[in-house]
Amino acid sequence: MRKIREILRLHHVAKLGVRAIGRSLGLSHSTVAEVLRRAEAAGLSWPLPEEMDNAALEAALYGPTAPAQTRHPMPDMDHLYRELRSRKGVTLRLLWLEYKQAHPDGYQYSRFCELYRRWAKTLDVSLRQVYRGGEKMFVDFAGETIPVVDPQTGQVRPAYLFVAVLAASNYTFAKPTWAQDLPSWIGAYVDAFEFFGGVPEMVVCDNPKTAVLSACQYEPELNPAYQEMAAHYGVVILPARPRKPRDKAKVANAVQQAERWILAPLRHRTFFGLEALHQAVQERLEVLNHRPFQKLEGSRRELYDRLDKPALRPLPAQRYEFAEWRKAKVNIDYHVAVDGNFYSVPYQLVHAEVDVRLTAHTVEIFRKGRRMASHVPVVGKGHYRIGVDPVLWTTGS
């Protein structure tokens, strides 16, 4: 307000032009011209009335009854926000060109961008980040656990809540598990992909020791089973950088929403078994995903149908079967010991280091990426399994 008073004084008393006033006060000539235009429209001159304090001056120039700066049509900010996240190549310049085509008398590009960025600052930090549909999925476990009662013994056991969220729409998936180990972690991924009905381009995860062997900032080393699952679905795994919470801010907010809208409403209920808890979680998940946004139009489900669902890549023909990878050394009798049983390999591999892939139905042995033997798992301990995949090699055993 002090500079505005000085603008009026210099203009009416000193008879300076707008550029000279701007140089004197360190303002742009356009700012000076705008103040003088508003003052003229409000009927203000110099000297100002003695009873006009700064609040009254501001109300006269910029209040509800002040003259409008322009009559340009206002851009639809919510539409711009959604379009920027719809697909690659959509930029503010492209949206401005479309806006100008519809409104030839509309704002120029710089003012258009300024208005949008000012509007975007009113959104939550996590929502201000621009994500394309089908681009990223964020995953993590909630910090709180849910007590589950064993109906046979009455023992209480904690269950963990896995949370996954699609970045563009905030559409959320949640699943209770007994543990945070690798089989539970990967199984929850598979269920999340099927819940979303497709696969995103990338998955941003934390750095659980079961899944990320080395949390290096530049070359993180993933567990082989985790990497195999990612290859099966054709998805890129991006572990969040250590001590960089903004890398996973999206899932942090999703976990907070899950704790508020899923765990908190269920706190007074008693669950006898994981399946009963799973059913209750799914019911609350529907409420969360259909709940309207506070600062945007629509809901998570509506944004998912519009942004993420059309952009997700289709699921593979077969569901991923969890496989555990281990290192082993071939014994002198060309057998590999796995869980107390022994599986034969070609005799040329004696003393060699091999990789063992275990599933519920197969035991496969690899050497330098090539499968050398395949067996049906043996039940019990101390048994020998002789004879391997005849396509790979033959033996006289």
pLDDT tens per residue, range 83-114: 887 666 678 888 899 998 888 888 888 888 88
For 323, the 3-state DSSP assignment is coil
Residues 146 and 228 in one domain: yes
Query: Is residue 144's pLDDT more than 50?
Result: yes
Supply the CATH number for residue 243's domain.
3.30.420.10
Identify whether 391 is part of a domain: no
Residues 213 and 249 in one domain: yes
Query: Is residue 66's pLDDT more than 50?
Result: no
249 or 293, higher pLDDT = 293
Identify whether 129 is part of a domain: no
Cα–Cα distance between 339 and 329 in angstroms, integer? 13
Residues 218 and 278 in one domain: yes
The domain in which residue 263 lies consists of 136-311
Identify whether 92 is part of a domain: yes
Cα 133 to Cα 162, 304, 334, 353: the distances in Å are 22, 8, 52, 44
Residues 243 and 368 in one domain: no
Residues 244 and 331 in one domain: no
Residues 224 and 297 in one domain: yes
What is the Rg, in whole angstroms, of the alpha carbon atoms belonging to the chain? 32
* Share above pLDDT 90 across residues of the chain, in percent, rounded to a whole number: 32
**Helix axes 54-62 and 29-41, enclosed angle (nearest 10):** 90
Identify whether 68 is part of a domain: no
- Give the domain-ending residue among 284, 311, 338: 311
Average predicted confidence (pLDDT) for the chain: 83
Cα–Cα distance between 239 and 218 in angstroms, integer? 10
Residue 211: its pLDDT value, please?
63
Residues 258 and 366 in one domain: no
20 or 357, higher pLDDT = 357
Residues 241 and 299 in one domain: yes
Query: Is residue 128's pLDDT more than 60?
Result: no
Q: How far is CA 199 from the centre of its chain?
A: 13
Query: Is residue 397's pLDDT more than 50?
Result: no
Residues 271 and 377 in one domain: no
Q: Determine which helix (DSSP H) or strand (DSSP E) holds 44, and give its type and residue range.
A: none
**For 33, what's the count of Cα atoms within 13 Å in the CB-facing half-sphere?**
6
Residues 56 and 81 in one domain: no
pLDDT tens per residue, range 166-181: 998 999 999 999 998 8
Residues 204 and 112 in one domain: no
Identify whether 130 is part of a domain: no
pLDDT tens per residue, range 294-309: 777 789 999 999 989 9
Residues 188 and 88 in one domain: no
Domains of the chain: total: 4
Cα–Cα distance between 12 and 82 in angstroms, integer? 48
Identify whether 164 is part of a domain: yes
Identify whether 85 is part of a domain: yes
Query: Is residue 259's pLDDT more than 70?
Result: yes
Mean pLDDT of 225-247: 79
Question: Do 110 and 93 form a contact (C-beta atoms < 8 A)?
Answer: no
Identify whether 17 is part of a domain: yes
- The region of weakest confidence among 1-5, 138-142, 184-188, 360-364 is 1-5
